[in-house]
Structure formats: C-alpha cells, structure tokens
Chain A
Amino acid sequence: MVNEFIDGIIEAFVLLFSFDLEVWGIILLSLRVSGTAIFVATLVSLPIGSFIALREFRGKKALTNLINTFMGFPPVVAGLLIFLLLSKSGPLGSLGLLYSPTAMIVAQLFLAIPIIIGTSKAAIESINPDLKETILNLGANERQLWWELIKESKKSIIAGILVAFGQAISEVGAVMIVGGNIRWNTRTFTTSIVLQTRMGEFGMAMALGLILIIISFSLNYILTHLQMRDI
C-alpha cells in the first residue's frame, strides 16, 4: 500500500504541474458538476427550507418527515431513476441529456436538495424565538424577516451547504450511471478513480484521490473561513 501511496503523490504532482490536459479536464468537470449542483440546490432549497421553518400549515410534520427521509435517499438509486428518465426510451429521452454533465448535475441535485432544505430549516428553527419576534416587532414583513433570519443562522446554513457539497463531489454511483464515464466528457474524479482502479492503475487512482482531497479540503477551508468572518 505504501508503494501505491508514494506513486500516487509523485503522480499527482506530475499531473497537476505538467498541466496534463486530461487531468485538468477531470478537475474542471468535477467542479463544474458539483459546483453547479450546489449552486442551484442552494438557490432552490434555502427559500423552501425557511418557508417550512417559518410558517405553520397543515401537514407540516408530515413534510418534515418526508424531507428527513429523503436526506437518506441512496444516491445510486436516484441515479438509476434519473437514468430511466433521461434514456432515449424514457419520457425525457428527446432531450438527449443522458451521458452528459447535465445529467450528472441533476443526479447530484437530487442528493443536495434534501440536505440543504433539511439543514437550513433546522438552522432557522433553532434561532431564539425572541429574536424572531423582535424582528417582527421592528416592522419586518415576511421577506425581510426571512432574510434577517438567514443572516443570523448563516453559520449553520453554510455548514449544511458544505455537507451537501462534500456528498456531491464524493458521489460515484449515480454519476457513473447517468454520466457513462465517457472520456473527455463525463469523467469526474470519482468515476476516474473507479476506472483506474479497475484497470489496475493504482498509482494513478491514488493520484486522482489525492488531488480530489486537496481540492475538497481547499474549498471547505475557504467556505469555513467565510463562515467565521462576519459578512
């Protein structure tokens, strides 16, 4: 194992700094797919999560249960469902989106959205109710209240987004199924590692793994830094 590890470190450096086209392509694709998925997921999930947190309505408990359940939805099953949806013989086949990065983004959305809805909802619900009332008493309407509470629970919300991003970029089953692991087109870190391992190229697989870790850590670091600062 140590051999592969060392091979991997050397390989990683070589690939990164020699601007190996294929590896950089993988890096950019992975970032594009997971980045887009988290971006869209956040835009969609924050309003939904806060809406559920702030309003009382019939079936709220049931909906909360549903969201929590979906947080544990196996990504690979989501991948299968999306595959059947986008396949040429499926309902959305005419879009021709199977085996494309967009399909992979959709798969990761499935994963990220429940996580961000769940965590942002919990974050807002854990805010001191006195604070919420104070903001209302100061004359905030619903939208203003919503925005203020998001600012207050910024740290927890960002933590939730980080979790979702981590899950998305580490996901391998679904993106393999809907992406097809096609060279230059739909190969991400995770799917490449699977391929390299299967081909017995452990050094290369390790290299990719190390680069993935570096990128993942760097992004987390930056976001955590933002989280600490007072925006």
Chain B
Amino acid sequence: MNKKNKILSIVLILTISTLIGISTSFDILHSRNRIILATTTSTYDSGLLDYLIPSFEERSGILVDILSVGTGYALESGRRGDADVLLVHSRIREDEFISNGYGIHRACIMYNDFIIIGPSNDPANIQGENISVVMTNLKNAGESGLIKFYSRGDGSGTNSKELSLWDLINNTPNSGIDSWYFETGAGMGNTLIVADENNGYTLIDRGTWLSTKDSVNLILLVEGEDFLLNPYGAILVNPEINLSVRYDLALEFVAFLTSKEGQELISSYKLNNETLFFPSFGHGNETYGCSTTDTEIEFWREYNGNYTG
C-alpha cells in the first residue's frame, strides 16, 4: 500500500472512530432527557400510546421511550430502576409492587375490557350467557373433547384476568392434566394466532381484537360483563430505590395522563371506529374496575391542572 492509501485509510479509521464516539455520547445524553415507560404488549399494540404521547412530548419537551413487554418484565424493570414509570393492568401485582416500596403514587388512568372469542359455530354454547355459565360451559365442553381453550400462561394482566374468571367457578384447569387447555406463554398477538389456527377459544383484550379481528376466523362471543373489565394504573417508580430514576419527568407524564387533556385524548382514541379505552381517573366506582382513592385525587390534582375526573 503506498503512502497515499495509507494516509487515506488512517484518516478513514479515525473519522469512523470519532463518529462512533459521538454516537455513543449521544446515546448517553439522550438517556438523560427521556423517561422510560414500561407497559404491556397488549396496551402498546392497541396503538393508544403512539396516539397519546406525541402531544405530551410536544408540550413538555420530554421524550418518552416505550418498553412494550410482559407485565412481569414491566414490574421488574421498575424494581431495577430501568423504567421510570409503569402503565399496567394487573391490580394485585400493582398493589404488591407498591407495598414492597418499589412504586409510589399510583393513579387510575383508564379501563378497557376483555372479551371471549371462539369458533363461529360455538360448540361450547357460551354466546350471550353470563360469566359463570360461560366458564362452566367451557370447562364441560373441553372435557368432552369438543373444544380447546388457549391461555396466555405468561403472568400478564390478561392472564391474571383469565385465571380470576376460572376462580369464579372454583375450577381452574391445568394444562398438564387437561388436554383441552393450552398455555402459549406468549403475548396476546401470538396467542390469538395460535387459537385461530386451532379454532379454539381464548380471552382477549378488546384493543388487540379490534386491530386483528379481520385476519382471524374466530368471532366475538362474550362481552360486557363487569368481570371482564380491565383497569389500568400508572405507577411512578420510587426514586429512593434507585437514584437515577427520573422521577420529576415521570411525574409530569402521569400528571398529563390524569389531566383533562390526557383523559379526553384517551377517550377520543378509536380503532376501527370503536372506542377502545375509557378514562377512569377520579371515578371512585368499583364498576370501572378501579377505585380511585381520595388520596390519589388529592395528590394528582396538584399536578394535572386541578382535574378530578
């Protein structure tokens, strides 16, 4: 290699190295100016957040990076300080998270609902029945070899809801013993695909359903029961557990979610011309699946422009 090429290559290598150095520093800086919101895959896949967040980013200048993961992962990342704020829908686990000191200042944000879908000929005969009958019929049909049921089996909010429905009839199936009950261990999208391929029944959140129903053969069979409500809570990660948590920025975000503007945006989000999520901040009614406490309201009204739902 002659001198000219040698110099050229050295210059090239130095330039590229410098660029790499710059991009790495950029990554470090970027992380200082953003918050990480950990939420569930079904929430993210509904498209609500991509609709909601740009408004927030614009007015506050805070970037929100969204981790779309399983409920377990979301909570865990809160515990580790890798996320600054959580938006999940698994009340029992949320309460546990807070009582362990990892999260503070929970706020009820919204709710959507779950539905049960299945094959169009409904061999288990659950269409239009009330929830206890639905679950009992599913079980019986399964044991008779007429149907298959697909559970997410991944500790997600959806999964917790499903298990609580089996609890209603005191008869939770076991995928190891009951050959009609399957646990996919996967997200909602994948579970839906599997259920569709096998012409089985499953519990699904309305959001995912609305965006995917045209590509599957299963149909909606059960909806509207109180037991099928799916409330969402936002939790701030406790800055005391990890000093680098961006508490102030996260606070602003949740304040936005609970504000009039935020709550209106939530209710205005439509998928296939149907409203998916219903704002619930400030409503103390169990019917909405989320009892906003007075303490909550008092705390958040300070930040959200005095909105109490």
A–B in direct contact per CB < 8 Å: yes
Residues of A within 8 A of B (CB): 32, 36, 39-40, 43, 87-90, 93-102, 180-183, 185, 195, 197-200, 231
What residue of chain B has the Cβ atom nearest to residue A100's Cβ?
A: B27
- Complex contact B215–A200 (CB within 8 A): yes
- Complex contact A199–B189 (CB within 8 A): yes
- Complex contact B67–A87 (CB within 8 A): no
Q: List 20 A-B contacts (CB under 8 A).
A: A36-B20, A36-B23, A39-B20, A87-B81, A87-B82, A88-B245, A96-B28, A96-B244, A97-B28, A99-B31, A100-B27, A100-B31, A101-B23, A180-B65, A182-B66, A198-B45, A198-B190, A199-B211, A200-B193, A200-B212
- B238 CB, nearest partner CB in chain A, Å: 13
- Complex contact B20–A40 (CB within 8 A): yes
Please indicate the chain B residues that have their CB under 8 angstroms from the CB of A231 in the complex. Answer: 1
> What is the bound-complex CA distance between A98 and B16, given in angstroms?
23
Please indicate the chain B residues that have their CB under 8 angstroms from the CB of A43 in the complex. Answer: 13
**Interface band, chain B:** 35 or more
> What is the bound-complex CA distance between A40 and B21, given in angstroms?
11
Known pairs A94-B244, A99-B36, A182-B66. 10 more at Cβ < 8 A?
A32-B23, A39-B16, A40-B20, A88-B245, A96-B28, A98-B82, A181-B68, A198-B41, A199-B45, A200-B193
- Complex contact B242–A96 (CB within 8 A): no
Once A88-B244, A182-B65 are accepted as A-B contacts, the answer to whether A96 and B32 lie under 8 Å apart by CB is: yes
> What is the bound-complex CA distance between A95 and B27, given in angstroms?
10
Name the interface residues of B171-192: CB closer than 8 Å to any CB of A. Answer: 187, 189-190, 192
Closest 4 CB pairs of A and B: A88-B81, A96-B31, A100-B27, A198-B189
- B166 CB, nearest partner CB in chain A, Å: 25
Is B294 part of the binding interface, using a Cβ–Cβ cutoff of 8 Å? no
Most buried by B among A32, A96, A98: A96
Once A39-B20, A40-B20, A43-B13 are accepted as A-B contacts, the answer to whether A99 and B244 lie under 8 Å apart by CB is: no
Please indicate the chain B residues that have their CB under 8 angstroms from the CB of A90 in the complex. Answer: 80
Contact with A along B63-86 (1 / 0, CB 8 A): 001111100000000011110000
Is B261 part of the binding interface, using a Cβ–Cβ cutoff of 8 Å? no
> What is the bound-complex CA distance between A100 and B28, given in angstroms?
8
Is B24 part of the binding interface, using a Cβ–Cβ cutoff of 8 Å? yes
Please indicate the chain A residues that have their CB under 8 angstroms from the CB of B95 in the complex. Answer: none
Is B50 part of the binding interface, using a Cβ–Cβ cutoff of 8 Å? yes
Please indicate the chain B residues that have their CB under 8 angstroms from the CB of A88 in the complex. Answer: 80-82, 242, 244-245
Please indicate the chain B residues that have their CB under 8 angstroms from the CB of A182 in the complex. Answer: 65-67
- B208 CB, nearest partner CB in chain A, Å: 8
Please indicate the chain A residues that have their CB under 8 angstroms from the CB of B20 in the complex. Answer: 36, 39-40
Most buried by B among A40, A97, A185: A185
What residue of chain A has the Cβ atom nearest to residue B34's Cβ?
A: A185
What residue of chain A has the Cβ atom nearest to residue B186's Cβ?
A: A198
> What is the bound-complex CA distance between A195 and B65, given in angstroms?
16
Please indicate the chain A residues that have their CB under 8 angstroms from the CB of B211 in the complex. Answer: 199-200
Please indicate the chain A residues that have their CB under 8 angstroms from the CB of B212 in the complex. Answer: 199-200
